[in-house]
């Protein structure tokens, strides 16, 4: 006589959170992996990711999306990637790959000459109008072909 298994059905495995709470999401193209990344962002960062992704989609309607190196990327077809995001312990780091060409220049410098960052914190207001302006400008520039 066959015995019934007492195991409960397994839930879909949740992504592993790496250092700083950054979700580990497999390399893939399209909206689905970016949405998986956003859903796995811990705490307030998930809402931040949804707002950022929605702002990008409104500002650049034909935006191309992918996940690489456990980070979402946004770009323009045949033009390259213009920005990415990454979870860190206390903030979400937004990178503009041609940031030094934006006006005004985003506030945080990088070790990479053209890259500039914006850090989004839970307890600080986000200037969505300025962020949309940077997104619009960045999408119009030749992007980075990182992979």
Q: How many domains does the chain have?
A: 1
Here the CATH number for the domain that contains residue 57 is 3.90.1150.200
The pair of structure tokens assigned to 121 is 């914190």
Q: State residue 146's pLDDT score.
A: 65
27 in a domain, yes or no? yes
Asked, for residue 9, whether it belongs to a domain, the answer is no
What is the domain range of residue 52? 20-140
Is 72:85 a contact under the CB 8 Å cutoff?
yes
Nearest by Cα to 117 from 51, 63, 71: 71
Per-residue pLDDT tens digits for 35-80: 999 999 999 999 999 999 999 999 999 999 999 999 999 999 999 9
Q: What phi and psi values does residue 69 have, to the nearest 5 degrees?
A: 50, 40
- Does 43 reside within a domain? yes
Order the strands of the 108-109 sheet from edge to edge: 28-29, 64-68, 71-76, 80-87, 91-96, 116-121, 108-109
- Band (96; pLDDT cuts 50, 70, 90): very high
What CA–CA distance (Å, rounded) separates 39 from 49? 8
pTM, two decimal places: 0.88
């Amino acid at each position: 006589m066959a015995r019934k298994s007492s195991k409960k059905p397994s839930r879909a495995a949740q992504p592993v959170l790496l250092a700083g709470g950054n979700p580990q999401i497999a390399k893939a193209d399209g909206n689905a992996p970016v949405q998986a990344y956003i859903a796995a962002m811990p705490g307030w960062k998930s809402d931040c990711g949804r707002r950022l992704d929605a702002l990008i989609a409104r500002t650049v309607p034909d935006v191309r999306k992918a996940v690489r190196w456990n980070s979402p990327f946004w770009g323009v077809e045949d033009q390259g990637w213009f920005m990415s995001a990454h979870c860190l312990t206390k903030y979400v780091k937004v990178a503009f790959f041609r940031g030094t060409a934006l006006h005004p220049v985003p506030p945080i410098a990088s070790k990479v000459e053209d890259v500039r960052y914006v850090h989004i914190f839970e307890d600080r207001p986000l200037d969505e109008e300025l962020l949309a302006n940077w997104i619009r400008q960045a999408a119009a520039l030749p992007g980075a072909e990182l992979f």
